[in-house]
Structure 1
């Protein structure tokens, strides 16, 4: 059982990491892309935003399709589309073409975002699901830990375009891994009941479930704080604090280690305290340092070590919040796990895009706008822990009948 759990975690984690690798390897290159293509910060960030928009929208299709056709077919299609987008990015002659192919690349990456969560729900629920989700995140963590370092190395040896050739090769290897190591977890008998009509009904069901929505948006604003850091940290740390791309990659990796390292305690802590209780404590541990570091910088403190220490603590607690909220949200919806995972991903990426866009409006070259976005997202997540019902309102209604 343990070896099977580990195998699924490794396969799903690596497939999930291909898309984020295309984000995290790309971060150290943002300033050089702007210089090479002759555009400003906002135009370069638009290429990152296009990827996130595609990730959010595309999941609404991949989820129901994975319920109808099984989990593997959408993964094959998504990886092939990702390869096309990556090659287009590598050859892009202008920022407009780069943005367009980043969108295509994001549509391909959707499959690796939504389908693995549905596979986890196919296999397990409760603490076992939390354990598998956390193990998946540990493998997935190779992206934010190694990708910026790999990106810096690739850029040093070539140019920013080499980053996209690198992720093209990674996606080809992903196709081989999918073919050899992942069995189909959605039985054909269960697929017969799924259609686009049933998907629309499922979306309507989920949108009426206050518990599902509360948990999804709780996780969404947790992820949004990480998105705000993703979109702005390279400019803050490289341009404002003067770090080299390699130093920036190391600093970024430290916070990723905190996030994914603490996530590995999820299964153990969930058994001891229960997922719901664990999540509430973790949200408090995540919000307090986020708000504290924002207030410090708002008062005039401008210290990179202070910011990095506080973010390290907060992102550690966030490593408990994200998988716990995802497992709890999917627990009541096993029959439509692909669709539920898709709606979760779309809403979460949508929230992340809004937070990134709002932070972008207030950029002033300092860390304050970025920290304001991070702190604001953490406060919303904290409020949602107290507004989200302890049990699905639809389940309560069914029990009453």
Structure 2
């Protein structure tokens, strides 16, 4: 692939992947305002976020096998169309229950943009080249946590919280145009698996029997669970507890994204020099150790915002090396069913994240400690799975990948 085509593909896939996260990150500065406007408690407002994550996870189970059967582009058209309709419904919601329902549908639509781009990466590359493309995709994808909260604050200032949903609806319309005009089909008919429910079930059974695959997925899922806890809790902690304005919150939230983006661009280089698996072990351990320091700080009574931001910045940088790499390693041996493998990975990541947010939400009181405890549990679980999964090379009794 020529360099210009390589970067163009990364840009297209990154933008498609970012539509769903944009619907999360633009929404974060508005959470307190939504609670006030709709007369909802903190837990109910947070559940609108949890509902989105649940459907974002479950929906990928459908899009992945379908994209293996009919190609990558048709499911993208459907998912983005559903996202547009649901976003309009969110913008018009008059109570928290209606908002939660449409957020669930919005997540179902966004699931297409999460599962399919990773499968396209596997269609095109493996190994360090796949890690390079995945990191470039993550570069575009990770711009969302930087720009989206800032954009959300601007939209909220001009049009209120409902304007956020009109904005993401327009972004999805642009995504539809992008798919139609620029994305080529990477799953030609001769590579598509048997178009049947049985074929999809066999693929999922294969993946659920591959403990190495599940371990790699678990590493990323637990790491992301810690991030999702921060995602749900940070608006209340940083705005209500530390007194930041929505714009200041957006800048503070973006700070961690800069670390993740910057570090992720070194995945291919470090992977070629040291190996992908050793890099993951070192980076995951370093991230977990940093979060352990943050937890100890709050357990012993600390309450300085700069400590929270500085240590989370360091942990996010190390996670920037882990998450793209374990995604590549998980899909490496499952090229013929890359869409299904990507879907199951995305589903497990979203479901683990949603569960973590729901559990921590029960204990949420606007103080930093419950949020930090949830972040630490996710990080520590990720470290444990890293050393269990990557303690020995892949191979041996692993199931053989399905063939077309």
TM-score norm. by structure 1 comes to 0.97
Give the C-alpha shift of residue 195 in structure 1: 2.8
Take 1:394 and 1:103, find their aligned partners in 2: how far apart are those partners? 41
Give the C-alpha shift of residue 97 in structure 1: 0.6
Asked if the contact 2:221–2:350 (Cα under 8 Å) also holds between the matched residues in 1, the reply is yes
Give the C-alpha shift of residue 350 in structure 1: 1.1
5+ long unaligned stretches in structure 2: none
Aligned to 1:47: 48
Give the C-alpha shift of residue 365 in structure 1: 2.2
Asked if the contact 1:215–1:325 (Cα under 8 Å) also holds between the matched residues in 2, the reply is yes
Asked if the contact 2:132–2:265 (Cα under 8 Å) also holds between the matched residues in 1, the reply is yes
Residue 161 in structure 1 maps to residue 166 in structure 2: no
Give the C-alpha shift of residue 330 in structure 1: 0.4
The secondary structure found in structure 2 opposite 1:39 is: coil
Deviations 1:190-215 (A, max 9, x none): 11534321110111111111100000
Matches within 5 A, 1:270-289: 270-289=271-290
Aligned to 2:16: 15
Take 1:68 and 1:308, find their aligned partners in 2: how far apart are those partners? 45
Asked if the contact 1:28–1:249 (Cα under 8 Å) also holds between the matched residues in 2, the reply is yes
Take 2:191 and 2:397, find their aligned partners in 1: how far apart are those partners? 22
Deviations 1:175-231 (A, max 9, x none): 111111100000101115343211101111111111000000011011111101110
Take 1:199 and 1:397, find their aligned partners in 2: how far apart are those partners? 16
Aligned to 2:218: 217
Take 1:314 and 1:341, find their aligned partners in 2: how far apart are those partners? 25
Take 1:312 and 1:162, find their aligned partners in 2: how far apart are those partners? 30
Give the C-alpha shift of residue 294 in structure 1: 0.7
Aligned to 1:308: 309
Deviations 1:285-313 (A, max 9, x none): 11011111011111000010011000000
Aligned to 1:323: 324
Give the number of equivalent residue pairs: 399
Take 2:45 and 2:155, find their aligned partners in 1: how far apart are those partners? 19
Take 2:134 and 2:119, find their aligned partners in 1: how far apart are those partners? 11
**Distance change in 2, residues 1:177/1:394 (3 Å):** farther
Take 1:75 and 1:228, find their aligned partners in 2: how far apart are those partners? 28
Give the C-alpha shift of residue 367 in structure 1: 0.5
Aligned to 1:38: 39
TM-score norm. by structure 2 comes to 0.97
The secondary structure found in structure 2 opposite 1:301 is: coil
